[in-house]
A and B are shown apart, each in its own frame.
Chain A
Amino acid sequence: MTKDERTTSTVFIQVAKAVIAAFMGIRKQSDLENDAANLKPAQVIIGGLIGAMLFVVSILILVKIIVNLN
């Protein structure tokens, strides 16, 4: 694995963690400072939009399952 690939996957995981934390509204100060130092706003915004879509899809799947149960 090259250094660039490692960096990309690390960034991806960090963005994912930041977005999940944002959706719950809970984040440690140290993690926040780490986010602020390492992530670009565009990465977080794109991550947030993807997170919002996943969130919508997951509620839709839940709703479909519940409706089909009855």
Chain B
Amino acid sequence: MAAVHGDVHGHGHDDHHPTGIMRWVTTTNHKDIGTMYLWFSLTMFFTGGFLAMGIRAELFQPGIQILEPELFNSFTTLHGLIMVFGAIMPAFVGFANWQVPMMIGAPDMAFARMNNWSFWLLIPAALLLISSFFVPGGAAAGGWTFYPPLSTQGGLGVDMMLFAVHILGASSIMGSINIITTILNMRAPGMTLMKMPLFVWTWLITAYLLVLAMPVLAGVVTMLITDRHFDTSFFNAAGGGDPVLFQHIFWFFGHPEVYIMILPAFGIVSEIIPTFSRKPLFGYSSMVYATASIAILSCIVWAHHMFTAGMPTVGQLFFMYATMLIAVPTGVKVFNWTATMWRGAMSFETPMLFAIGFIFLFVIGGFSGVICAIVPIDIQVQDTYYVIAHFHYVLVSGALFALFGGAYYWLPKWTGHMYDETLGKLHFWLSMIFFNMAFFVQHFLGLAGMPRRIPDYALQFADFNMISSLGAFGFGLTQLLFVYIVIKCIRSKEPAPEKPWEGATTLEWTHLPTPAPYHSFETPPVVK
């Protein structure tokens, strides 16, 4: 990446910061806000994980054992919403807050107060989502995609969910405006666009996707609210509306959203693999172009989520072809990562293990995506566990594994302490084994016809469901190990080396001490 000159300065005088609770409430510091985003997303990850454990406990055996069907539906709905909007997205924003200013040589984010506001908006949204379980009628139960007519019929829980999604969307829009402005205006002298680390590039493109997609979500949520409370009939066939219109608008947001959750993961992996291969990223320019290409394509494929909703053949073929073509730029990325590792002096510390695990499993998720894109197959597997398996391979072993890899990679920079490498590797291998145990068998369940979002199932699905549940419990417990590793790392007395990764070339490793000082790059570095 960018060649940099100059020495690592002593930044002891930059470490002054307020103390106590007000430090966190009123902070405008990108590192504090990044930390809060990361802790928030970890908390929501365990909340959504708790719901997942409930789902898998109920599905451990056929029959209804633990959750009433209505509550089970609320669990699946809130599991999806919390993981997407509460865990994965804020985690990436947390990474952006910590890393983007340090990687481009900026002192902070462009709109520091708006940054604080974007974070604190998440709290009421999370409270609304979680507390909706305790209102009359219970939490929303119509699936995380909240299709009408179910979402126009539910009770107060649905309103709370819709309001929460509105707030989370507003927070995301502010976060993305902040990231775009920071990257375009606050780069250090010499840090041209084409010298930016790939993590920054992927976040720039993701932020544009967010600015494009989130207002569409806000629009469709507003239309649902007016249908529910102000007698409009956007999605009510009895009033002249069209429920399928909701699906089109929702997925016009929802498909770019998929890429919003995976592009920053591509960015993190593109930082980790060159570092531990001790080689520059193969095809940096191709990676930038492929990211842009994926972003553009992501906006013209939304109706592949709706092949069974009723669509002319021409529409089905168009969305099928367009969707399958996304495999081209995605394949370019996978080949570039592989080529980066080719003949590199590789070492396999925990971040690298998660990055390689990411490539391996994300490719499986990508391939099952191409299979789902084929209309005749999709009509068979629509709303089955095959789809569940597909998107968990993309979002758990894709986005989440990249987040874990990134967390291990930058923990020494953030905390000033080294994490326990042995435990980190154990975390990776247990995650790898239990993840595949939980989700690989779901491909078979889906192909055999087991529908999603049901609390009970036919007897022939029993064995694979039990294996899946055991894998899920193991995966859930393994994540407690991650919390232990992080806390142990923070409390460790042993300082981390200034530059624990000899292959790292980005500004935060070459130009800042470890741990990163509270105020960094007050004087911009010179990048050559």
Contacts and interface: CB of A to CB of B under 8 A. Distances in A.
Interface string A53-66: 00110011011101
A28 B322 CA distance: 25
Given A32-B288, A63-B314, A63-B321, A25 B293 contact: yes
Interface stretch (B216-224, B328-336, B377-385, B488-496): B328-336
B177 interface: no
Interface in A17-48: 21-29, 31-33, 36, 48
Contact of B329 (A25, A31, A55, A66): A25
Contacts of B296: 22-23, 48, 52
A64 B341 CA distance: 43
A25 B104 CA distance: 24
A25 B193 contact: no
B360 interface: no
A67 interface: yes
Interface in B292-313: 292-294, 296, 299-300, 313
Nearest to A66: B317
A27 B6 CA distance: 31
A22 B293 contact: yes
A63 to B, nearest CB: 4
Interface in B152-205: 192-194
A52 B300 contact: yes
Contact residue range for chain A? 20 to 34
A26 B194 contact: no
A27 to B, nearest CB: 5
A29 B321 CA distance: 30
A25 B286 contact: yes
A24 B329 contact: yes
Contacts of A28: 285
Contacts of A36: 192-194
A24 to B, nearest CB: 6
Contact residues of B: prevailing secondary structure: helix
Nearest to A22: B289
B329 A29 contact: no
Contacts of A27: 285-286, 288-289
Interface in B247-305: 283-286, 288-290, 292-294, 296, 299-300
A26 B332 contact: yes
A25 B332 contact: yes
A26 B286 contact: yes
B318 interface: yes
Contacts, number: 67
Given A22-B292, A25-B286, A59-B322, A32 B317 contact: no
Contacts of A64: 314
A25 B297 CA distance: 12
A24 B289 CA distance: 8
B192 A62 contact: no
Instruction: Indicate the member of B292, B329, B332 with the most A CB atoms within 10 Å.
Output: B292
B310 to A, nearest CB: 17
A24 B293 contact: yes
A60 B194 CA distance: 34
B191 to A, nearest CB: 13
A56 B300 contact: yes
Given A22-B289, A26-B332, A63 B317 contact: yes
B233 to A, nearest CB: 31
A25 B285 contact: no
Given A36-B192, A52-B300, A64-B314, A21 B322 contact: no
B285 A23 contact: no
B148 to A, nearest CB: 28
Those 3 A-B pairs whose CB atoms lie nearest each other, nearest first: A25-B290, A25-B329, A32-B285
Interface of A: 21-29, 31-33, 36, 48, 52, 55-56, 59-60, 62-64, 66-67
12 contacts: A25-B328, A25-B333, A26-B283, A26-B332, A27-B285, A28-B285, A32-B288, A32-B289, A52-B299, A55-B300, A59-B321, A67-B317
